[in-house]
Structure 1
Amino acid sequence: MIVKLPFGKDKVELELPVGADLLESKATEYTPEYTEEELVQKALENPIGTSRVSELAKGKKNIVVITSDHTRPVPSKVTLPIYLKEIRKENPDCNITILIATGFHRPTTDEEMIDKFGKDLIENENFVIHMSQNDEDMEYLGKLPSGGDLLINKIATEADLLVSEGFIEPHFFAGFSGGRKSVLPGIASQRTVFANHCAKFIASDKSRTGNLDGNPIHKDMKFAAEQAKLAFILNVVIDADKKVIAAFAGDSVEAHEEGCQFVKDLSSIKSTEADIVITTNGGYPLDQNIYQSVKSMTAAEACAKEDGIIIEVSKCNDGHGGEGFYQTFKQAASPKDVEDEILKVKMEDTIADQWESQILARILSRHKVFFVADEGTKEILEDMHIEYSSSVEDAIKKAIEIKGKDAKIAVIPDGVSVIVNK
């Protein structure tokens, strides 16, 4: 069998080794009854747990729509025009600001904005990019359940109506993306993000893919959305080709929960115990850097034996994705040293990208990782104690030399789309 692995905007072919396990979301087989546009429109016309957004927008002068940034494959060219039309249906003269939820990521470039939203939207709508480091742009909304300060962008707090769009997929420590994540970390201050992504929470066995129950990170995020008065969400579910296969709109909690259940039903796979696990970060835009690629490595981690080898196939043409993240590993003697030091850090002392470093260090401390990436990333990977491979075939050859010809192999074509159940 030939398996096509997403790699940037392309795909690389892999001949599945004899006896290998293929682990993938049922989304690959799911066929929606309607077109992408129809799914979005029907969701907006039949909201869950609240009135239509056109009704909520009546009489409102200042409406803010939170949307995702360049690192998220939300098909905004499809969703946003329909969403804006619905908002303006009963209030055509309202003032709408589209706030790009960068969280702690770098700002979205002009080129990336056009690629994501389309030239027409960029030229005719008011977009603002959230900058988490600018405390003067934030408003204090109290204390999070965790004890951290909740500060979010004033553009959102000053809105007469705050709504968001996004997508739902399994998330490696928040349980699922979407819903409340538009606020925290989406439009929160870096101080708030740091508190929420502290070492204690990341280490919790409740902060795992596909779990919201008792998840301390989710609890903070949900509280932040409530305090921000997030009144309505439009969240979609997408397939491997980034096409909408389902849409959920309405109350930020109820609509999100229904969407999460849909994703859970599609994405849950039974864990295996493999000597070698091959995975990807789902291609562009999620595999632009090493930072984001840690997500899919957690799916491989859940399927690998204690001393199993992980092969990550991720283009990473944008490099490491976070200077602090990169330097943490470059300056460390070993990944185990990174993990041990981070576990000592108190919530109030959390630093940039610490959470991603913590998870990557946990994986690298327990598994050898071969990383198939853009050639320009080779030196960066090696600085971070990760072995670069020029191709999937090269990585498999190296792994078999270590594990032997009878090694059990598992392939997860899209590691960010699955929930691994033990």
Structure 2
Amino acid sequence: MTSDTAVLTLAGRPLPGLRGRVRQLGVDTGYALAGFPVGVAAFVVVLTGLAAGSGLLVVWVGVAVLAATLLAARGFATVERAWLPAVLGTALPQPAYRHPEGRAVRRLTTPLRDPQTWLDALHALVRFPFAIFCFVVTVTFWAGALGGLTHALWGWALPDPSRDPGHDDLLEVLGFDSTPLTRIALYTALGLLFAVLLPFVVRGGAVLQATVGRALLTSRAATQAQIGRLSEGRDAAVAAEAVALRRLERDIHDGPQQRLVRLGMDLARAQRQLDRDPDAARSTLGEAAGLARETLEELRALSRGIAPPVLADRGLAAALAAIAARSPVPIELSVDLPAERLAPAAENTAYFVVSEALANAAKHSGATTCEVVVIAAGPALRVVVEDDGHGGAVQAPGHGLAGLADRLRAVDGVLTVDSPRGGPTRLIAELPL
């Protein structure tokens, strides 16, 4: 049984400005302070459980001990994963553990057969020194900052080194005279230094510890998520291709095939008329020639829908201009692309998105005008097609919009349809470059 991965869809974003930095400092501090007792408990429980379970395997009791230990490690890992998005500022995939199934013995050994639970146990052991380091650094810098900045309020309670020869402070160790004012000045300056360094040091320790957790607790889930996305993309590409082939078959059957049947009948009729009525035969041949031209034009139109030559020869902008020129609905076209050609997959997908959207608008929406905007913005290509029709477009299975969504999903793209009743209809396709 394989594990699936649920991927979070919303990524955390660091808050800007002073308020965001203060909040991040609070999150990092809480993570460091809470991580120490949790790390100690996890280390003790997992190490003890693994040692006891391994020693008791000869009498089979160790299997239950190891299973319980791995479940405990899973619990500690769940606590750690809850902290990671806030500390790292990004959403992370969550692994799906194996579910117990089968008879009692097989259900008991489920944690032992799940690779992620062993990674959880490894994290409990590896994390321990990082948790100690992060805790010590955080407590030290907080104590130095708060203690130094408030020394003027509580320093009077300490023995005065200038009056008590048995007590030396930092100033006397450094060879300076120790007076109340110099002590306040020195410790306030040190407190200010600690306060300035505090956010950076605490942040560094928290990120170090969180990176260890991310590597052991979410890396496998991220790999599974990538595999899942690739599988979905492959399935979407197959589905889109099947829909396109069925539509092509239907278009050929309803168009060129019917015209060719009629063309054959006209030619047979002209052959019969040739001897007894040459004028009628010439008229029939003229009709047949016109029908042949119409069939050729229709076949060319279908071929443009499969692999338009202008797209391969001149690029996406020229191909879109050709679509706009042929469209029965007036098109307002705006294209903003880099000077270099885009990847073939991106160009083909964007072309078919615009072509299908305009075809749907001409056939079903009753639109009087359409607007097409294609822009390469950063790492993504954004395609927007909007018409002023009556709306109501939906991504029904087996229809054009569903095929577009599958085609986009095959290249890790996304299709958004906004088409309320009464219009307008707005299609937004985003695909990576």
**Which structure: greater strand fraction?**
1
Give the TM-score normalised by the residue count of structure 2.
0.19
**Which structure: greater helix fraction?**
2
Q: Pick the structure with greater CA Rg.
A: 2
Give the TM-score normalised by the residue count of structure 1.
0.20
- Which structure has the higher relative contact order (CA within 8 Å, separation 6+)? 1
